[in-house]
Each structure stands twice: as structure tokens, then as C-alpha cells.
């Protein structure tokens, strides 16, 4: 395994990325659940607002799409 700066290996970096991706997936799943609840309660504008906020967050989170290597 190739050591990276700070003594981390490539595997360590990949494991950390996977953990971050899994946490992000959990956040998205929770958002979907919350939006469904709002829709079921008839709060359509609130659900739409939540989805728009999520899209803004996704758009700003370029590291989720393309990891920036140091």
C-alpha cells in the first residue's frame, strides 16, 4: 500500500471517503422521509422548499461529486 502524506495509506483514504458517502446517503434518506411526511400532511410548499434547499446544498457540495485531492 502506498503511504500518503501524514502516514495514511490509500486504503485509509478510501475507507474515510466511503464513511463520508454513507453518512451523506443517510442524510439524503432522512430528507426524503421528511419530505414524504410533509407531503402526506398536505404541506406541499414546505416539502418543495426542503427539496430546493437540498438541491442548493448538493450543488454547493462539489466534494461529494468529485473529491478534491490534496
Contact status, residue 34 vs residue 51, Cβ threshold 8 Å: no
d(CA 54, CA 52): 5
Nearest to 65 by CA among 24, 15, 30, 26: 24
Q: Are 50 and 38 in contact (CB under 8 A)?
A: yes
- 47 part of a folded domain: yes
Q: Match 454513507 to its residue by C-alpha cell.
A: 22
The pLDDT assigned to 59 comes to 86
Assigned domain for 70 exists: no
Which grid cell sits at 67? 473529491
Q: Is residue 45 part of a domain?
A: yes
Q: Is residue 50 part of a domain?
A: yes
Residue 3 is predicted with a pLDDT of 59
Tens-level pLDDT at each residue, the chain (70 residues): 555 566 668 899 899 999 999 999 999 999 999 999 999 999 999 999 999 999 998 888 766 555 555 5
pTM, 2 dp: 0.69
Amino acid at each position: 500500500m502506498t503511504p500518503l502524506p501524514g502516514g495514511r495509506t490509500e486504503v485509509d483514504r478510501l475507507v474515510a471517503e466511503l464513511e463520508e458517502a454513507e453518512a451523506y446517503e443517510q442524510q439524503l434518506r432522512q430528507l426524503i422521509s421528511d419530505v414524504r411526511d410533509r407531503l402526506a400532511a398536505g404541506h406541499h410548499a414546505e416539502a418543495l422548499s426542503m427539496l430546493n434547499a437540498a438541491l442548493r446544498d448538493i450543488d454547493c457540495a462539489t466534494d461529494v461529486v468529485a473529491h478534491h485531492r490534496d
